[in-house]
């Protein structure tokens, strides 16, 4: 599923990134690479999502989330 | 060595600007990179007899070719402009913020690493062993906290050491990681040393894998065709940036793995962040924060504005004194109406610049600005802008010039110019003072509808302007969604902040004074007539009255409209004086100097101006160029005479069109 489908307070692993070169380079430079763990902190409609990953709170536009494929980690 | 240049390199929110301001104080200069629209900040300081020049490079998350900023940054360093590079990382988000260091690896310039925000990391229960990191990297690594004075001694020591030892980053372990990527080894072997001066074959190979267009173009020039084609085919996979990114983070994990101890505390949103990010309260909380900040900033700004009023009060005594010593009339008038008037504008403006720079600088430094960007990202994104643009807009309801000055928080030049262009459409305080007065005089309770109509037109105007100007200023491929961190809140460093604010205010003073003097002198000349009646503008106004009638304006109203481009405060005074038979020259200068309105102003207006004409004038004045000071501030922030002129011309035309529409609608109603 894509990152924006992750419910609040759930954790997931990034499995794949899809997009143009520009997107790939921007998303990896903020720390989201395949294999890294993300936690959904806030997921409101019409707002960027807030995720926590690599010690950092990251705000991501919802469209950009479509290129981030994740697999939910069930605790 | 007499002068040594250090470049500051770091991601946004790494505390780069704070360090720059703290090091250089008032000794800084802001310009543009040659031929580019990217801001260039330089400064200098002296330590132990050595003079250091400091270049504050644009903040970006990496050194890819995604933006002009990033290409300028890496080329500046690689071309040997800096003797040493100080790379900043955020200790509280060490893993992610070391990405810049990993991306830097392979650029052949001495460097050292500054682990900033050591205080924040400590509060989070993190312990970082800088020595262990230093051993792995081979360059000086220092924990740093901008608010701690002792930190600076450590900084100067590390700086000296890095320069003296020509400290180079150890990249062997990183290269070993890259070696696992398919195609890396082959590309590396195809790239000779110095294929692109300043970059190692490893760095170039990584960028080639990432599909970096600028690097590929340079390789194409530097290598023969068959070698280049072999590189092209070896890098074919589109997932290159993901693979290299993975290696960079794996390397970072190795470097800091043993050196960082965390408390393992779960990070959640702070109470303040829960309010800012709330769906219901977020926008209101942001607006309240900005408004309260601006109100607070007026307290320190008041003395400057007071000087502005004081200068204006000098006008009458100075003119009298000059007349009494028989100074030629022309010179007396020039000093009174141009020089004194201009400086009065300049000082009032500086008050605003000071206040706005202080508040915005503070919000940026403590980390609130990032929250504002988040909250307004969707709304402003529709206009092609960043969420931050909402702040200059809010300021513009008070003063367009303040809004233009505040637009400097926007780090992309095109978006900055677009923000200013849109801010002009927001009626400022002076318009809000005149519009209700004129509307209630002519339309009674209908004034509410007029004000409502102005707000609706404002929104449409901004939307249209965003479409028209946005296409050129913010190109489609540059419009991408937000990918940004919300940094932890930081304590502000007041000394550095105030030095920055004073520096900016001083610079604005120098640059803006020239523009305002020039524009005021031009207007004055156009108004001047030796006989006291006449003047070029007056003559033109009278001659083209048949044309201005189309817009619903008599020559008196049209001249008042022109005056409103200089300062909206004076517009009503000009109308009143002209209908009472005064000369335009005197009316204009009096109104601009803030001479009180005649007591019969209401009767004069009602007797001479019809309702449709009044409506036309209200729209023409409100959406006209805000004032000369806003013009000067726009020029100061955009660094572009061309775009400033375009905005002026556009607003003049649109305000006249709006006047014509209002006039003809008015004619249908009344």
pLDDT in tens, B97-125: 999 999 999 998 999 999 999 988 888 88
- Segments forming the whole domain that contains residue B228: 174-261
Number of structural domains chain A divides into? 1
Residue finishing a domain among B169, B194, B219? B169
A8, A31, A68, best to mutate vs chain B, most B CBs in 10 Å: A31
Burial (CB count <10 Å: 0-12, 13-18, 19+), residue A69 = middle
Residue B339 lies in a domain: no
In a domain, B20, yes or no: yes
Among B120, B147, B169, give the residue marking a domain's end.
Answer: B169
Residues of chain B with pLDDT below 50 are 1
Q: What is the pLDDT of residues A22-42, one digit of tens each?
A: 888 889 989 999 999 999 999
Decide if B241 and A54 are in contact by the 8 Å CB cutoff.
no
Q: CATH number, domain at B207?
A: 1.10.287
Answer yes or no: do B12 and B161 share one domain. Answer: yes
> Chain B within 8 Å of A8 (Cβ-Cβ)?
no
Please check whether residues B63 and B102 belong to one and the same domain: yes
Q: Mind telling me how many Å the CA of B261 is from chain A's nearest CA?
A: 13
What tokens does B97 get? 């913020």
In this structure, what DSSP letter does residue B336 have?
I
Q: What is the pLDDT of residue B266?
A: 66
Q: Which two tokens mark B514?
A: 């020239």
Alpha-carbon separation of residue A43 from A51, A56, B565 (angstroms): 9, 16, 46
Residues B106 and B35 in one domain: yes
Per the structure block, which two tokens stand in for B51? 């003079």
* B17/B146 Cα distance (integer angstroms): 10
Q: Is the CB of residue B528 less than 8 Å from the CB of residue B583?
A: no
For chain B, how far is it from start to end, CA to CA, in angstroms?
Answer: 80
Question: What 3-state class would DSSP assign to B582?
Answer: coil
Q: How many domains does chain B have?
A: 2
Instruction: Please enumerate residues of B whose Cβ is less than 8 A from a Cβ of A.
Output: 61-62, 64, 66, 92-97, 99, 103, 210-211, 238-242, 244-246, 248-249, 267-269, 277, 279, 370, 373-375, 377-378, 381, 477, 480-487
ipTM of the complex: 0.92
Bridge-based pairing of strands B50-56 and B3-10 is parallel
| Residue B91 DSSP code | G
Rg (CA), chain A: 11
CATH of the domain at A40: 2.30.30.90
In A1-75 the beta strands, taken as DSSP E runs, fall at: 11-17, 37-42, 49-53, 56-60, 68-73
Residue B346 lies in a domain: no
Q: Chain B contacts of A56, Cβ < 8 Å?
A: 93, 96-97, 485
Domain extent at residue A50: 3-73
pLDDT at A74 over 70: yes
Q: Are residues B28 and B155 in the same domain?
A: yes
Among candidate residues B234, B261, B288, the one where a domain is terminated: B261
**B12 lies in the same domain as B159:** yes
């Amino acid at each position: 599923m894509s990152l924006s489908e992750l419910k609040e307070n759930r954790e997931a692993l990034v499995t794949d990134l899809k997009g143009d070169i520009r997107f790939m380079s921007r998303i990896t430079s903020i720390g989201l690479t395949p294999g890294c763990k993300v936690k959904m902190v806030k997921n409101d409609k019409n707002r960027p999502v807030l995720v926590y990953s690599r010690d950092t709170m990251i705000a991501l536009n919802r469209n950009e989330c479509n290129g981030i494929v994740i697999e939910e980690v069930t605790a | 060595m007499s002068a040594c240049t250090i470049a500051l390199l770091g991601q946004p929110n790494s505390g780069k600007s704070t360090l720059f301001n703290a090091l250089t104080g008032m000794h800084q200069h802001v310009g543009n990179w040659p031929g580019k629209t990217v801001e260039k900040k330089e400064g200098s300081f002296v330590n132990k007899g050595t003079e250091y020049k400091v270049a504050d490079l644009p903040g970006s998350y990496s050194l890819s070719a995604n933006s002009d900023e990033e290409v300028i940054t890496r080329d500046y360093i690689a071309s040997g402009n800096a003797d040493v590079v100080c790379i900043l990382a955020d200790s509280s988000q060490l893993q992610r913020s070391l990405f810049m260091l990993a991306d830097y690896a392979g650029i052949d310039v001495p460097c050292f690493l500054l682990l900033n925000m050591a205080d924040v990391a400590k509060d989070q229960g993190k312990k970082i062993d800088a020595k262990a990191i230093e051993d792995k990297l081979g360059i000086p690594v220092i924990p740093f906290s901008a608010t701690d004075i002792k930190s600076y001694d450590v900084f100067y020591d590390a700086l000296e050491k890095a320069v003296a030892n020509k400290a180079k980053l150890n990249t062997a372990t990183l290269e070993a990681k890259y070696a696992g990527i398919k195609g890396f080894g082959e590309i590396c072997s195809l790239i000779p040393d110095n294929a692109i001066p300043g970059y190692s074959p490893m760095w170039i190979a990584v960028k080639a894998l990432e599909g970096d267009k600028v690097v590929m173009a340079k390789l194409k020039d530097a290598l023969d065709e068959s070698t280049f084609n072999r590189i092209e085919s070896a890098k074919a996979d589109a997932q290159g940036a993901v693979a290299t990114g993975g290696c960079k983070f794996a390397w970072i994990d190795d470097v800091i793995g043993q050196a960082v101890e965390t408390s393992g505390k779960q990070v959640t949103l702070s109470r303040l962040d829960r309010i800012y990010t709330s769906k219901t309260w977020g926008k209101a909380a942001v607006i309240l924060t900005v408004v309260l900040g601006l109100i607070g900033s007026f307290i320190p700004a008041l003395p400057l504005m007071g000087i502005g009023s004081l200068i204006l009060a000098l006008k009458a005594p100075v003119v009298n004194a000059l007349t009494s010593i028989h100074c030629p009339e022309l010179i007396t008038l020039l000093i009174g109406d141009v020089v004194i008037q201009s400086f009065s504008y300049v000082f009032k403006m500086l008050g605003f610049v000071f206040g706005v720079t202080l508040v915005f600088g503070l919000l940026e430094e403590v980390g609130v600005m990032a929250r504002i960007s988040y909250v307004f990202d969707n709304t402003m994104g529709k206009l092609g802008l960043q969420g931050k643009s909402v702040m200059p807009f809010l300021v513009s309801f008070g003063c367009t010039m303040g809004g233009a000055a505040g637009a400097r928080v926007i780090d992309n030049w095109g978006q900055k110019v677009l923000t200013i262009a849109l801010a002009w459409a927001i009626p400022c305080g002076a318009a809000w003072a005149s519009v209700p007065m004129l509307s209630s005089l002519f339309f009674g309770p209908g004034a509410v509808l007029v004000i409502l109509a102005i707000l609706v037109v404002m929104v449409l105007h901004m939307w249209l302007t965003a479409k028209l100007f946005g296409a050129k200023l913010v190109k489609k491929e540059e419009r991408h969604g937000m990918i940004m961190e919300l940094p932890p809140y930081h304590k502000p460093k007041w000394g550095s902040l105030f030095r920055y604010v004073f520096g900016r205010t001083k610079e604005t003073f120098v640059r803006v004074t020239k523009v305002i003097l020039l524009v005021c002198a031009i207007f004055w000349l156009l108004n001047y007539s030796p006989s006291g009646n006449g003047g070029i503008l007056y003559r033109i106004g009278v001659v083209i009255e048949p044309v201005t009638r189309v817009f619903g304006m008599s020559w008196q109203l049209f001249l008042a409209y022109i005056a409103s481009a200089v300062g909206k405060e004076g517009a009503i005074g000009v109308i009143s004086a002209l209908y009472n038979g005064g000369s335009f020259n005197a009316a204009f200068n009096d109104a601009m100097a803030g001479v009180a309105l005649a007591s019969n102003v209401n009767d004069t207006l009602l007797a001479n101006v019809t309702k449709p004409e009044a409506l036309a004038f209200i729209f023409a004045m409100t959406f006209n160029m805000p004032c000369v000071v806003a013009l000067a501030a726009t020029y100061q922030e955009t660094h572009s005479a061309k775009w400033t002129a375009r905005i002026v011309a556009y607003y003049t035309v649109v305000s006249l069109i709006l006047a014509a529409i209002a006039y003809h609608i008015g004619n249908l109603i009344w």
